Structure 1
């Protein structure tokens, strides 16, 4: 058994090449052989977001607080609220982050392949970020 007490692991600032705005990451679980699972709580200030990216084995995010915006390539911007869970398929190009006026925190769960859990792409343009939002209620 391995216990990590609250506050025993420092928050991390992610690579700024992969994010826009102020973002903090708090590790929950790091993969250790034979496991490939990584979990992290990611906190986004209003307007902060990831770059476009993909995960070789997919990713699940569970919204903990605030208002999340997420988009897969070619689709509308989706609004996700606390308690919502979103699964991105393996290789699905997407981004996610906070709404312009509201911060957001989510739990991100993904698996690493050969030590990498994500393939990072270009930054999300302001036009994509402000794009058409999906009709809610589904």
Structure 2
């Protein structure tokens, strides 16, 4: 039995800025057609811009963070929020400036999914919430 509460391991710096931890909870090779992980973002930690062919669902379980789709303003997300990211939409998510944010990320239809990692979110983009 695994725990989704543990921080896990440091996230790959090629795809994340700042201090981020990833705990893979459910792997597709375990017989489920999903990839599910708990991701902990320390303040200012964030993903790169990226897309998921199958879309993505985020369940915010702690703290306050940000979510942004390309061409739209940054949205504040917080504990209790469910973020439904449409298929193939370029986006990023991460912690707010002053508080950590933790979410459970779910990628459905994993056998059909392709995650495309893009450029880092610049400090100017990240700070555009102010």
Tell me the TM-score normalised to structure 2 length.
0.89
Match of 1:20 in 2: 17
Inter-partner Cα distance in structure 2 for 1:20 and 1:10: 17
TM-superposition CA deviations, 1:24-46 (whole Å, max 9, x none): 11121111376320110000000
Per mean C-alpha deviation after superposition, the further-off stretch among 28-37 and 77-86 is 28-37
The structure whose Rg is larger is 1
Inter-partner Cα distance in structure 2 for 1:6 and 1:108: 15
Structure 2 regions of 5+ residues with no counterpart?
A: none
Match of 2:77 in 1: 80
Match of 1:136 in 2: none
Comparing both structures, which one devotes a greater share of its residues to strand?
2
Tell me the TM-score normalised to structure 1 length.
0.84
1:120 and 2:117 are equivalent in the alignment: yes
Q: Against the structure 1 CA distance between its residues 101 and 33, is the aligned structure 2 distance closer, same or farther, given a 3 Å change threshold?
A: closer
1:59 corresponds to which of 46, 56, 60: 56
Comparing both structures, which one devotes a greater share of its residues to helix?
2
| RMSD (Å), alpha carbons | 2.1
Inter-partner Cα distance in structure 2 for 1:118 and 1:103: 24
1:101 corresponds to which of 87, 98, 102: 98
Within a 5 Å distance, the mapping from 1:25-44 to structure 2 comes to: 25-32=22-29, 35-44=32-41
| C-alpha contact (below 8 Å) 1:26/1:40 kept by paired residues | yes
| C-alpha contact (below 8 Å) 2:3/2:25 kept by paired residues | no
Deviation, 1:5, is 3.8
